[in-house]
Amino acid sequence: MRTPLIAGNWKMYKTAAQAQEFVDAVRPHLDGADAADVGICPPFLALPAVVQAAGGSRIQVFAQNMYHADEGAFTGEVSPSMLLAAGAHGAVVGHSERRQHFGETDAALALKVPAALEAGLTPILCIGETQAEREHGETEDKLRHQIQEDLAEVDPDRLAQVVIAYEPIWAIGTGVVATPEQAQEAIAFVRALIAERSREQAEQVRILYGGSVNAENAPELLGLPDVDGALVGGASLKPDSFAAIVATAGG
Ligand code: PGA
């Protein structure tokens, strides 16, 4: 009922030329199958190249960040309408690397998520706990706090237009993937949080798992009942491994 989404988060990798090369290589693997949505999240400067190279395919292009205002004196920022004009489908917001290294706050996300929806962009909102929070039994508190704050200004009837990515911070880029039990438990919990605001939207909202997903562990993770896809970092940088994960999701 929920179409899975496999999204590749390239982080600060690939020039425009390298991005085009990737899309040219991956496209033939995506033809014909459409049981999963496919997203690529390139750096801003490579975004137009990916949009162009992906033209006519089912690849959706997402930015890795955006500011909430539409224009103004905000040096260094990119607005929702600029992304839309460049052909983006949406934007990742609240990635833990942005929270950790660039001071992204839940208060900022409470503005960004509705701004994306208002512009007609699909936000992929990242949430997740640190290793210490998990060890101290604070995972659910952290997720509840992030969901409550980051989605506070989203109308309950629109919650399913947001894609949520549960990414335990200890699993990102470490090769230590969450166990299927950990991923299922956390994502079912997030779905229950959405259900507190709208049962109907909770059934429809897509919740991805992210953190050291690769072609080997994808089948088990994507087979979990509440996991609706994956946000893939390292393994999305090579066409072969990315295409293999998409194929696992039925794409
Ligand atoms: P990873 O990154 O797959 O390299 O762990 C995931 C992410 O940061 O979205």
- Does ligand 1 come within 6 angstroms of the Cβ of 211? yes
> Where do we find the tokens 């909102």?
125
* Structural domain boundaries enclosing 224: 5-249
pLDDT digits (tens, 9 = 90+) for 147-167: 999 999 999 999 999 999 999
Confidence of residue 32 (pLDDT cuts 50, 70, 90): low
- For ligand 1, atom 1: residue with the closest CA: 233
Please give the pLDDT value at position 226. Answer: 98
Q: Which residues contact 170 (CB under 8 A, 6 or more apart)?
A: 129, 130, 131, 134, 176, 211
- For ligand 1, the distance from its centroid to the CA atom of residue 78, given in whole angstroms, is 23
Structural domains of the chain, count: 1
Give the position, in ligand 1's atom list, of the atom nearest the Cα of 173. 5
For residue 151, what is the domain's CATH number? 3.20.20.70
Does residue 25 have a pLDDT over 80?
yes
- For ligand 1, the distance from its centroid to the CA atom of residue 211, given in whole angstroms, is 5
Which DSSP string do the residues of 191-240 spell out, in sequence order?
Answer: HHHHHTT-HHHHHH-EEEEESS--TTTHHHHHTSTT--EEEESGGGSSHH
pLDDT digits (tens, 9 = 90+) for 220-233: 999 999 999 999 99
- Does ligand 1 come within 6 angstroms of the Cβ of 213? yes
